[in-house]
Structure 1
Amino acid sequence: MMLSEENKRKSSFRDFDEAAEHILEMISKQMKINTLFIAKNDGKTNEIIKSRNAEKELVVAGTSLPLENTFCSLSLNYGEEPLVINDISSSELTESLEIAAHFGNGSFIGIPVYFENGDVYGTICGLDNQPFEFLEEHLYTFETMSSLLTYVLELEKANYQIQTLSSPLVPVTTGVAILPVIGEITAQRAQTIIDHILIKTEERNLEYLIIDVSGVSQINTAVGEYLLKLVGILKVIGVTPVITGIQPFMALKVPHFAASLKGILIEANLETALKQLGFVLMQGCSKNSGRP
């Protein structure tokens, strides 16, 4: 049986953000609690990453509170199993929380979300300002979804490592490095490259970055814009970009690509680029080094 387009969309997601949205949607279909949310914390601050409210907006995505003043802190302290508070107004756990007064005799459920190494990412929770009856199946659902989020976190981490390894920064000498861009460039990979390179350029205190695109097999307008964005950012932070290996198909796929690089040093290949920066490539230098 073939899946409908809607079912295909729901059966996969591109990143943690989409997975979180999808998971809250699935839980909401199973249990009719007013609010579901996923929070991230760093040990001090609790940030709401995703929220889903039915009737009353109890939790808003993007908001932050000190961790100690949140229901999430209670869930983290409780451990790996779901914490269930049937009546917030009468629970000993919530009596010290300032925010508890806003939810009367409502109910709460929450469970931590971990990385594989045991570090805490945050929590996935359910909240209502009215009494809610939690069933055994609800607890099982939260345990399952917490494990699923752990899997997605690790998958995203692994994917990021693969993407950054596929675009390594090769140091040439102090202040100069080469970024060989190889293979098919998607918009997601292009953004990963930018994020990775900005960190590395600061760490290495670069003056010049040679971006070699001779190994790029596919490019489109969106990806071309990302590469231009990288060039623009490098200029702003004081790193001189040098482009090598631009191929004819790039000019055909992204007509304004070359024109947008006006004023940027463009060379046919790495050898000529290095010569422009004052480097001389010597054949057999290692064999003759140190000998008269």
Structure 2
Amino acid sequence: MKIETECSRLTASTFDDFNEAAVRVLQMMAKFLDLNTLFIARNDGQTNQIIKVLNKDEELVSEGDTLPFAESYCKLSVDHGQGILIIPDVNNNEMTCEMNVTKHLGGGSFIAIPIYYQDGQNYGTICGLDTKNKEFTNEHIQLFETMSALLSYVLELDYTNQQLQNTGAPVVPITKGVAILPVIGDIDESRAESIIQTALFKSQDLSLDYLVIDLSGIMYINETVIASLLKITSIIKLIGVRPILTGFRPDLSMKAVQINADLQDIMIKANLEQALNEIGFVLKSEQPRS
């Protein structure tokens, strides 16, 4: 069966979410590629994580494996740009010959292409890896390019569905004068306005002194997200509520630095427990009865 025929059977409507699409894509690619390992990785600019993997004989990588992004082959693919990166012999390539990954692998070949969000930001990569040197045809290159485009499309559909399911954000009371606002999914201007209205009304209804805004559930970070967070914190401060940000991930921090976001007057804590400790509350576990 030709690659074009098999690819035509894979459409975005075939999958329930990105994870399912990733598995199906790797399974289909494995039919046409004589490679030991195919995998999809995601990076946040600092860490490269294996999201889905298919090993045929030898387990070269495992699902959930992480590596500093700067030390990964995937970074070479992202730096290479939108086109496909092919390294037939990692031991005799100036980019890879001295890398720790190469020393661990012992030699072989690598092929990869990035996966992008709709706005051009990088999500991660589709990669092929083998301990033997391999040659790749134009059909193989076309297969990688097609699967990258398909996963980019599924990725956008997945995030759109998440946004529809999480249009607002609930304000959850914790104790008198304190509540938490968990922000889940993506933030655009429309959703930011909805969150601001919810935060304002609930802050007044609950007579809040502190509103903990938890960011650990945000799926994608860009300038709009940072600007929206600053807007939310500024507005609730005007009504006398002190905002506390928790779950501030490394990728969010890096983006805030890149756009010179002013976070000096905003309390930022690693998690909810630290935030509550800061304002005078202590979480205690119930001791078992003897």
TM-score normalised by L of structure 1: 0.55
CA shift digits 1:53-99 (9 cap, x unpaired): 00000011101111111110111111111100111111111023111
1:57 equivalent in structure 2: 59
Rounded to whole Å, the distance in 2 between the matches of 1:11 and 1:152 is: 9
Distance 1:166 1:68, change over 3 A: closer
Contact 1:104/1:130 (<8 A) preserved: no
Contact 1:88/1:103 (<8 A) preserved: no
- Any unmatched runs of 5+ in structure 2? 1-8, 170-193, 207-216, 219-228, 243-274, 277-290
Q: 2:144 aligns with which of 142, 145, 161?
A: 142
Rounded to whole Å, the distance in 1 between the matches of 2:89 and 2:204 is: 61
Moved over 6 A (4+): 166-169, 202-206
The answer as to 2:120 corresponding to 1:124 is: no
**Correspondences of 1:34-73 after superposition (within 5 Å):** 34-73=36-75
Please identify, of 92-101 and 82-91, the stretch whose mean Cα deviation from structure 2 is larger: 92-101
**Correspondences of 1:10-89 after superposition (within 5 Å):** 12-89=14-91
Give the C-alpha shift of residue 165 in structure 1.
2.6
Percent identical pairs in the alignment equals 43
Name the Cα RMSD after superposition.
3.1
CA shift digits 1:191-225 (9 cap, x unpaired): xxxx69xxx9x98789xxxxxxxxxxxxxxxxxxx
**Correspondences of 1:105-124 after superposition (within 5 Å):** 105-124=107-126
**Correspondences of 1:150-229 after superposition (within 5 Å):** 150-165=152-167, 170=198, 172-174=201-203, 176=205
CA shift digits 1:199-255 (9 cap, x unpaired): x9x98789xxxxxxxxxxxxxxxxxxxxxxxxxxxxxx99xxxxxxxxxxxxxxxxx
Rounded to whole Å, the distance in 1 between the matches of 2:96 and 2:114 is: 17
How many residue pairs match? The answer is 181
3-state SS, counterpart of residue 153 of structure 1: helix
- Any unmatched runs of 5+ in structure 1? 1-6, 178-194, 207-236, 239-292
Contact 1:72/1:110 (<8 A) preserved: yes
Please identify, of 52-61 and 166-175, the stretch whose mean Cα deviation from structure 2 is larger: 166-175
Match of 1:174, as an amino acid?
S
Larger radius of gyration: 1
Match of 2:203, as an amino acid?
T
Q: Which has the higher relative contact order, 1 or 2, with Cα contacts under 8 A spaced 6 or more apart?
A: 2
TM-score normalised by L of structure 2: 0.56
